[in-house]
Each structure stands twice: as C-alpha cells, then as structure tokens.
Amino acid sequence: MSNPGTVPRTAPIAIAPKTSHQNPGLPFRHSHANRDAYMSSMAGNDSADSDSALSGTVTPCEACALRGSKCVVGEDEDKCMSCQTHGVECSLCQSPPPRKRKLARDLADESNGHRGSPGRSDNRRLRQHAPSLSSTAASNSLIEEMANFGGPTLLKRTLGLQEDRYSQYIGPTTDFEPSLINLSPFDPQDESLLARGTLRKVSDHDTFLMLPDATTPGYDHQFDDVDEIERIVAPHGRKLLNLYFEIVHPGFPIIQKNVFYEKYDRDRHEFSPPVLAAVYLLAINWWDHSEELSRCPRPNVRALERLIRSSLADAMWRPKLSTVQAGLLLSQRPEGDQWAPTAQLVATAQELGLHLDCTHWKIPPWEKGLRKRLAWALYMQDKWGALVHGRPSHIFSSNWTVQPLVPNDFSEADCDENDMEGRQEMERGRTLFVQMVYLSQVLAEILETFYTLQAMQNVTAAGPQGTHLVLSLAKPIQLKLKEWYAALPTTIRMDSSFLSSALSSGRLSSIGYLHLAYFAIEITLHRRIIRALASDLQAIDPYLEHICRSAAKARLISAMDFVNRLTPQHLRAFWYFASKTNFALIGTFGSLLWATSPGREEADWYRRRLGEYRWTLSVSSKPGESHRLTEFAMGMLDISTGLLKKLPEKPELSRTGSAVDFNPGRRQSLLSMGMSSFAGDTFSGLNSADISAAQSPGSPIDSSEDEDYEYETFSPTAGMASMRE
C-alpha cells in the first residue's frame, strides 16, 4: 500500500455560479468547454508536490491538442489524465485516435432519446473503463474533484448525491478503527485516499468511505434504463413531474425540488433511474386530475413498475439518498407497500448514515435538511409499516440521533414567491409532515409499550392486575394525544377556514391522512384495553369495564363520522401509504367491540353502525384515486363481520340491567388507583353530542369534557351528497 502522506492533493475549488449551456440537452460531463476550463484551473493550482508526481509530455496527445489543454501522464500510466477523465482513447497508448466527432453525434442522439445506437454502447463501455482506485493517487484525486465540479452547483461537495461515487458509513465496530482513521492525513476537502477507497470525514466523529459507482452491478445499464423510462412516459414527462410536485410533494416533501428540476433541465441521465421512475409512477395516479393529460392514453404502468423494481435492486449496490427516496415513493402506492422492502430501506439508510445527527456535518446546508426529512420519512415508514403489518419495528431510539425538524430543514425554493396560494399550500404541507412525524413517535411508544412480545408477556404475567397495568401505561400516552390535538395548528384542522378556501378553489388537500392517522393511533391504544378487559371479565370491576367500553365506543363514532365528512378534494388527494389499512382498522375496531359486547342490544347497535360505515366506504369507492383505499377497507370489513356470524347468541339485557351501578364509593376507589381518571381522559377529544350518543342504553355517565374535535351530531345522510360530487 502506498503511503497516503505522499499523495498529492489538489486545492479546493470555490463554488462557481451555474454555467449556462448553449445546448441544454448535452450532458454536462461531456461538455468539453467547461471541462477544459476546469483542467486549466487545475493546472494553475498544481503545487510543486503535484508536479513532482506527474511527468509532463513534450508532445500532447491528439485529444489534448484539439482541446488546447495541458497533457500530463501519471507514473506507470500509458494514457494521459485528460483522456482518462473524458473516458476516450488516448493516442499515446498507440490506439486509434479518439473519434470525437462520432462521440458528439452519439451524445446528441442520447439527448434526443434514440436507442440502440452503437455510439451509446461505446460510450457506456468507455465509462466502464474510466480510472478506478487502482490508478495513481494523483489521477484519482483529479477524478474525484471532477465529480464535484461545474454545472451541477447544488450537488457540489454533497455526501449522498454524488454522481459517480456512493458512500458507506464507517461504524464504531468495523475493521476501520476510529482512532486510526483520525491518524490519516486529510486534505482541505476532508478526504484521504486509501487503497480500499477514499475516506470522507464529515465531523470529528463521523467518517464515510467513498467508493466508485462504476464497479457495481448494473452500472452500465443506468443510461439505458433512464432512456426507457423516458420513452414510456413520452411526451408527458414534464407534465407528470409538475403534477407530482403539485399534489404529492407538499404533503410528503422528501425530494429537494430545486435540485430535481436542475437535473431534469440539464440532463436526465444524471438521475438514478428508480427515483425518476418512482416520481412518474406516483404522479400517474392523478392522470385524470390534469385536463390535458386526461385526454391522452396513460403510459404503460406495468412496464414502468418492472423498470423501477429492477433498477432499484441495482441501486442498492451503490446506495445514495435517491435510493431511499425511490423506495419511499414506491411504498406510497396503495398496492406497493410491503414489509420486506421497508427492512431493506432501513438498512440502506443506515449505510448512508441517515440515523445520525448531521447538524454539524461538513456538507451543504440543503443536504442536511434533505437528510433529516428523509430520515424522519423513513422513521414513519418503519413505524406505520410495523403497525399495518403487525411486525417488530427496525428503528430504536437507542440508535437514533436525528434531530427534530425545523423550518430551515425545508427549502425556500420549493414555491414561486409570486404564487401566494402555492406558498400557503406548501407551508400547510410542511406543517402536516412535521405533525405526522410527531404522531409516528407516539405510535412508536404505543407499539413499544403494548405490542412487543415482552410487553404482552408482562401483561399476561400480571394476571388479574393485567388490565390495571394496561390502563396505567395508557394514561400518559392518552394525555399526549390530547395535548397534540389541543396544539394542532389551525391551518391543518379539518374545520379550518384556510382549508375551506383552498378546497373551494379546487385544490386537493392531503390533511385527511393526518387525522385518519390520529384515529388509527387512538384505536390501536383502545384495542389493547378492550382485549385486556375481555381476557378476564371475572376480575374486572363492572364500572371500570363500562367506562372503558364507552370511551372506545365514542372513539369509534368519531372515527366513522370523520370518514363520512371527507370531501372529493380530500379523497382525491395524496394519502399516506398506511391510510388504506387505517380505514380498515376502524371497521376492525367496530367488529372487536361487537364481538365483546355483553348483550344483544349493544351488539346490534355495532352491527348497524358497521353497515353504515360500509355504505360510506362504498360511496367513496368510485373510479379515481381513492377507490383502492376504501375497497381494501370494505374487503376487510366483510371478512371481520363474516367471522362475527359464528359468534354464539348474545343474552338480551334489559334497559335497567344494562346500566351499571355507579356507587360513589366504587368510583372513588377506582379514582384512587388512577383507572377512572384515564377513562375520563379518553373522552377529551370529542364533544358532548358524540359522547352522549356513544353511551350504552340508560348509561348516566358524565360527558362534560373538553370539546376538541368539533364534529356535529352525525346523520347517516349528512355527508353523502359531498361523496357523490
């Protein structure tokens, strides 16, 4: 191994303003004028040490002579560094002169979308033979600097979005010893070249290994994949991109919009194929939302799906931030959510260091914000995936140091300053995303407290005290949910005047997925309580059972009424991937309460309400973007109610017999244990009308609670007209 201390390094390059191109379709990496300017600047910055490591040529090669650039050859090399960088044959190694004219024509064909030309195959083969880590240190240094130079100014000096290198986080227990890493000499760009790769130090404690893309499987197919993706959606690519940033991006801001457009306008071959395909694939869900697109035939979605899955599998070998973006977007499709890919995404994100605090890293500020948004989006994917699939979560607080999102983590370039409505919608979307992150943290606490194997064993081991244990653990979480709603910003409340004006203007609103998530969390909490009550009815105080079931009943009514009040502007908007299961959980919860009802009268009441809920779902299950959400919920509701037909006949309780004897002494006893106070808190999200409607016949329970959710008394036909619009 060569001594890294003797490796010449070039001086850092100041970030230059974005270069204007006469031919926007020409890829920057093949723009000779810009690269020659860079070569000249590099030649001027070479130090004496650099010159001692390079041997100049008296007669330049033909390619350098044509470009008028300095021709230098590294020791033990048979071609000059400029030709190595450009990926062309060098006349110094006695090969035919570079066919520059043919290469230019082939590149023009690339930008015009022609496929199958010999030029593209030659270009791909030449890129494969670009200098690798086996080249001399000086040559590697030059190549690495080229990766961050010039046109793509927003990508310069990034860690997770470099065009030709990917990063691997070096953890504390790998074969790299941190104390030895700190002994390695780092240049002004915080990089140190080793035989195994290039170390990139981003902070005093965090280091990455940078490796070349060209050595990974599937690398040579990237250009062809991008061309095929563009061919499938042509000529509607730009319209689909605009549709994505109008509908999906505000409520799920995991892409840096200005960087994405910069790449798109300069050269689409700079994209990782799966993220470009994922954006198109998700946007196609709103094809009919565009009056212009609705008149055209849809692209071949199945072909696009095949491409994204194969290219995403290749991208896992050279993971970048775009790999995580593609995986998250693919999971947002109603039929695209699977648990195994979520686990793979978590592993990929850990490879990229997304689980770490990047606040003080030496990377561009916009990348810090993008990393944090991606990290929390992944956290949400993991927690909600664990809920809907009933699987153990992969992310734990002991290995998660990502800081909370702040306004500076979102790009101000995402919307036009002159578009006031667009700016308000973007701000509403960011607020929505941040609040969903918080709800996901509460969900994580519920899953950890009640649904891990150890947690369930603890309740079982508590025996007759199991229900009391569940209630005591649930109370602080319920208070968090109450406080969350009390502090919910006005702009994202369902009754918001801001929302009403936006809906009246025809804009779609994604805030429905946040409120549905809230009800899903409440239901997940109450399901555990009802299960505990049903496990040992003999040990449960009748009054405690009554108030817990009444609270659960109130939650069910409120959730069903929420679904009934969804308008077409809500239903046709972007919904988070877990939403289809969250709709189903409402019906599942109703079925659980039906199954555990003590008497026939209460069971019949749940049967009727579930019938009304199914009708609500069927009305909204019409052709369009929302039908797959509600169809899934209807299918699960049919399954659960079908199973309930096998229940034994419930006893018929009289109106008097169904009421619970509210002995003041018994109530005070429960209060002293903290049980009744929890049950009272569970009503805090509903108004008096909802609560009174939720009581069992003849129940005198007090319903004078805070009115957080301002839902009016439900009439089965009240919200249906809006569904049919």
pLDDT in tens, 280-312: 999 999 999 999 999 999 999 999 999 999 999
pLDDT range class, residue 648, cuts 50, 70, 90: confident
- Among 475, 481, 406, 472, which Cα is nearest to 443's? 481
Task: Give the number of other CB atoms < 10 A from CB of residue 45.
Answer: 13
| Inter-residue contact 374 to 254 (CB < 8 Å) | yes
**pLDDT tens digits for range 230-274:** 999 999 999 999 999 999 999 999 999 988 998 999 999 999 999
Helical pair 511-535 and 579-595, crossing angle rounded to 10 deg = 30
pLDDT confidence bin for 686, thresholds 50/70/90: very low
Q: For residue 700, is the peptide bond before it cis, meaning its omega torsion is within 30 degrees of 0? A: no
3-state secondary structure 506-567: CCCCCHHHHHHHHHHHHHHHHHHHHHHHHHCHHHCCHHHHHHHHHHHHHHHHHHHHHHHCCC
Rounded to 5 degrees, what angle do the CA atoms 257, 250, 305 make? 70
What lies within 8 Å, CB to CB, of 548 at 6+ separation is: 471, 529, 530, 533, 679, 682
What is the spatial distance between Cα 592 and Cα 528, in angstroms, rounded to a whole number?
A: 11
Which has more pLDDT, 204 or 703? 204
pLDDT: which is higher, 103 or 253:
253
Q: Per mean pLDDT, which of 83-97, 639-653, 676-690 is the most reliable?
A: 639-653
Report which secondary-structure segment, H or E, holds 379: helix 365-389
Please spell the DSSP secondary structure of 148-165, one letter per residue.
T-SS-GGGTT-SS--SSE
Pick the range with the lowest mean pLDDT from 167-181, 499-513, 645-659.
Answer: 645-659
- State residue 22's pLDDT score: 37
Cα torsion 677, 682, 684, 690 to 10°: value is: -130
Q: What is the pLDDT of residue 409?
A: 95
Percent of the chain clearing pLDDT 70 (strictly above) = 65
Q: How many CA atoms lie within 13 A of 414 on its CB side?
A: 30
pLDDT of residue 572 exceeding 80, the answer is yes
Write out pLDDT tens, residues 602-611: 999 999 999 9
Residues 158-162: what's their mean pLDDT? 91
Q: State how far the Cα of 601 lies from the Cα of 624, in Å rounded to an integer.
A: 39
Taking residues 514-526, report their average pLDDT.
97
Per-residue pLDDT, 706: 33
| Minimum mean pLDDT range among 163-177, 462-476, 480-494, 694-708 | 694-708
Lowest mean pLDDT among 233-237, 284-288, 427-431, 672-676: 672-676
Looking at 203-207, 283-287, 616-620, which range is the least confident one?
A: 616-620
Question: How many residues belong to the chain?
Answer: 725
**What SS3 class is residue 434?**
helix
pLDDT tens across 553-566, in order?
999 999 999 999 99
Q: Which range has the worst mean pLDDT, 4-8, 426-430, 591-595?
A: 4-8
Residues 6+ apart with CB under 8 A from 83: 61, 63, 64, 89, 90, 92, 98
pLDDT value of residue 565: 92
- What average pLDDT is seen over the chain? 76
Which residue would you say has higher pLDDT here, 75 or 135? 75
Mean pLDDT value across residues 12-21: 35
Residue 428 is predicted with a pLDDT of 92
Specify the pLDDT at position 630: 87
Q: How confident is the model at residue 80 (pLDDT cuts 50, 70, 90)?
A: confident
Tokens of 280: 């198109």
- pLDDT of 390 reads 95
| Most confident option among 144-153, 182-191, 207-216 | 207-216
Which has more pLDDT, 621 or 699?
Answer: 621
Residue with more model confidence, 149 or 310: 310
Mean pLDDT to the nearest integer, 111-115: 40
pLDDT of residue 234: 95
The mean pLDDT value for 678-707 works out to 36
What pLDDT does 212 receive? Answer: 95
**Residue 92 above 80 pLDDT?**
no
Query: What is the predicted pLDDT for the residue at 242?
Result: 94
For residues 249 and 499, what is the distance between their CA atoms, to the nearest angstrom?
A: 18
Among 12-21, 66-75, 373-382, 652-661, name the one with the lowest average pLDDT. Answer: 12-21
Q: What share of the chain is helix, strand, coil (3-state, %, to 5)?
A: 60, 5, 35
CB 450 within 8 A of CB 530: no
What percentage of the chain has pLDDT greater than the value 90?
53
Q: What is the mean pLDDT of residues 391-404?
A: 96
